[in-house]
């Protein structure tokens, strides 16, 4: 059984670590992408951008999640005055790939053992027939929007992206580099400054 003071210490310690990371202009995007994560990441990015226009590093390790929340993070990264560097760590899956695209192509990196996944969006559709039809049409539009974005950001033909993302399409860091998802594989923080 935890004492009352211990329960309050954990969130305080986590906040302290986040504050220390923010002083280094580093944001960690980890876990499932949802509205809460988007709000936290967007807030951190906006605070850092208001402080200065020095580069901001965003470490991305995520299984993906809510598409609109992911696009919100992507759009804010592009909205900032500060240059954003994204670094894939562990795995970058589903909507986390477009989040990586929030950085300009030359500022997208990966650690050596990171895996990447592109695939078509999925979701549970239920309800009345007309509602199912509306949701299915919206999923088709989202899928095409994602395919167009991946094609534009990687230089791959959209037909290839459509075919590759029809099912789970996993890539190693080396394959992601070849595909155009990232610009470089890095092994140390010093590698980020090399051209």
Residues near 32 by beta carbon (within 8 Å), at least 6 away in sequence: 62, 63, 64, 65
Which tokens sit at 97?
Answer: 């790939």
Clarify whether 66 is annotated catalytic: no
Whether 119 is a known active-site residue: answer: yes
Instruction: Report the distance separating Cα 163 and Cα 158, nearest Å.
Output: 9
E strands of the chain, at which residues? 26-30, 56-62, 84-93, 108-110, 115-118, 169-171, 184-185
Which among 62, 66, 69, 94 is annotated as catalytic?
94
C-alpha span between 25 and 34 (Å, rounded)? 23
Q: Locate tokens 């809510």: which residue?
A: 66
Catalytic residue of the set 119, 122, 165, 183: 119
Known catalytic residues? Answer: 94, 119
């Amino acid at each position: 059984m935890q004492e009352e003071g211990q329960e309050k210490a954990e969130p305080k310690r986590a906040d302290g670590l986040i504050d220390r990371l923010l002083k280094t202009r580093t944001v960690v995007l980890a876990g499932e992408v949802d509205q809460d994560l988007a709000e936290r990441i967007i807030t951190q990015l906006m605070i850092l951008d208001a402080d200065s226009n020095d580069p901001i590093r965003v470490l991305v390790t995520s299984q993906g999640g809510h598409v609109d929340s992911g696009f919100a993070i992507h759009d804010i990264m592009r909205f900032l005055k500060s240059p954003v560097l994204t670094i894939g760590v562990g795995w970058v899956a589903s909507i986390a790939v477009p989040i990586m695209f929030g950085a300009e192509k030359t500022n997208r990196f990966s650690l050596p053992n990171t895996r990447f996944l592109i695939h078509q969006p999925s979701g549970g559709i239920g309800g009345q027939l007309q509602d199912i039809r509306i949701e299915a049409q919206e999923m088709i539009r989202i899928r095409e929007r994602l395919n167009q974005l991946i094609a534009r950001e990687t230089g791959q033909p959209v037909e290839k992206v459509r075919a590759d993302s029809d099912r789970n399409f996993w890539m190693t860091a080396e394959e992601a580099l070849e595909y155009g998802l990232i610009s470089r594989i890095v092994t140390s923080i010093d590698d980020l400054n090399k051209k």
